[in-house]
Structure 1
Amino acid sequence: MTQNELLTEYRKDLLGVFGDPSLVLTEGRGCRVTDADGGTYLDLLGGIAVNALGYAHPRWVQAVADQAGRLAHVSNFFTTPPQLSLAHKLLEILAAPEGSKVFFTNSGTEANEAALKLVRSHGNAATPHKSRVLALDHGFHGRTAGALAVTWKEAYRAPFQPLPGGVEFIEPTLEALDRAMGDDVAGLIVEPVQGEAGVRPLPEGFLAQARRLTADGDAILVVDEVQSGMGRTGRWLASGDELGGENAPDVITLAKSLGGGFPIGAMITMTPQATGVLGPGNHGTTFGGNPLATAAGSATIEAIEEEGLLENARSMGELLVRGLSQMEGIDEVRGEGLLIAADLSRADAVDGGAAPAVVAEARKRGFILNATGPATLRLAPPLIITASEVEEFLQALPGIIDAVVDA
């Protein structure tokens, strides 16, 4: 079937919550994917920061195939060697304090749901009761009800009100944080880099101050590293400069790059205060931590370590930032490693914003990226991307922008 025929099938059979897909993708190798009509694309989005190893990475494929031939699912009445191995690897690479624990989920929003239940349980057990949960303006934590309640964008939340209550949004500033904290705060959830808001890092010192204030107020600090973690910024955690060791957050949530393309998430408790909240029967999931997902996670971590992909993310990110910063038609470039945003200088040159139009034109020319708003392009390519692939994109982008804004 042709791509158009397959898209017709999609519209007929699938719920249209994502709108019409732009392509039907059939296979991938490295950083490139192929559509149903044979077109090829350099993927600079990586499944929205998921495909850390690109496509069909030999180590990842072998690990999933081998595990599928042994054991795919056993339920949470049992454990398996891949689950134990990945938990140990995570605690090791994150330099988690002694006593830290891992809870595996299927996605980032599920990891955040688990974290929010932990926050609520902690607040309900406190004397006096702690009822407030703080989240940040422009933050995004998922689409399920609890995670959506702490997601800032009103358009996402409005159709589903009433959502779980007691949530307050504050500006991501030190001053707003100081004003909002109090003895009745059960927890605070933050992204160190607000990816869906256009790759916007929190102000310097914000995370350290959040740790001090939540510790002093007996509140749970949840750091959502779903998009920014697992090597995406050239470090295992984007929050590592301000948090860690004795200043570890109470909870870290992970997903996306953790599985290298296989659905998996994790909530990690990093302090005794957080680890002691949830006990048997308090939370669960049927598929979380299954052998296939955890085997994929371990293979992803091993490849990142052995192939020097943290360093590659840093060096390729620097190459991208330098090239974009020198490019006419771009006002501002933000990001670290391979999580980067570029703001277009003539965003109003196209109805609906230039960034979505640039994304569409780039796709016609064989590049996949996305827009987080009318002016902002987001790049989150596989951590294996090469200098020649970066240069290929940088050489093509000025012509793409000109074709859109000068049309």
Structure 2
Amino acid sequence: MDRRTVLRATVAGGAAAFSGSLWAGAALAAPAQPGPGPYGNLLAADANGIHLPAGFSSRVIARSGQRVAGTSYVWHWAPDGGACFPAGDGWIYVSNSEVPLIGGASAVRFRADGSIATAYRILGGTNVNCAGGATPWGTWLSCEEVPLGRVFETWPDGSRSAEERTRMGRFTHEAAACDPDRRVIYLTEDESDGCFYRFVPDTWGDLRTGQVQVLCAPANATSGPVTWQNIPDRDGFPIPTRFQVGAAKHFDGGEGCWYDRGTCWFTTKGDNRVWAYDAVNQRIDLAYDDSLVPAGTAPLTGVDNITGTAGGDLYVAEDGGNMEVCVITPAGVVAPFLRIDGQSSSEITGPAFSPDGSRLYFSSQRGTSGNSTGSGGITYEVTGPFRR
């Protein structure tokens, strides 16, 4: 009996015991399993090629290489990680650009009625800006996904120039998630043997100084207690940060990261997993693993960016797969929320909800063309009766 068969049998026996909320603690009785989604089945594709449940609609916000509607600003190539921020009586959606050398990030500002007010650049001249994370004080951390990559703190309203935050470590950065309760920032690393880090600033709200730490646990552990150890050299040269602490646990391609009420959820693309770090009890568990569902039934593959709602639903975007955003509910059910047609050479990036939770933003990084440069990227908005 192979590993997948054994794990499926384990889940089949334990699934009935799983009835609590994901937010009730990371020590789940079993990872999420396929089932009926909270919004019902997906309907036929709309005019934008997006399959959505009844009651939801989509619109195109921006296309790479073209002016954002109603503005003179040309939207960046290869849109990636993103987040939303309140701004006056409207809001701002920030999006990274995952291209070499010019990278950076752009922003679209919306009025209260959802119309576009303006669009502009908030970061430029950086390298392969993949994901990042929002801070409680209203800035966007834009992360470079290259060896010795840096974190840049940016101001979504464009009121200040971006500032480099190299004290947060030099490595192949992916995403960041702020934990205001413990006053740390969790960081993922996009390497096949990457690590999961946290940055402990000397002063909360000031990221100029602090300590980088790495999560430590047995190499094959998928659940159980963990510890944290200081990284001796955050600059990562000549020894990369992931190799500096022998007890560090390695993860297969760290991607998205999302914190909520004591749990930091992060994804690993190499093994299609969603992990739950229980920050209160300092332990890790699996929230989803495609090898732990019956063969051929996994709705979520190509696990990548992640976001969540105030009501406890997680939304996970696919890099490849069948170009879906899937929802993982607090009841432990995973199901497709949307699917994009005709863009199999792309990936879904940057999922983020408007501050009131009524709109979901995301991008198809390479669109129908499959090209990271040029006019391939498309940024969308979905509106509807989201659970909040």
Scaled by the length of structure 1, the TM-score of the pair is 0.27
Q: Look at both structures and tell me which one has the larger radius of gyration over its CA atoms.
A: 1
Scaled by the length of structure 2, the TM-score of the pair is 0.28
Normalized per residue, the structure richer in strand is 2
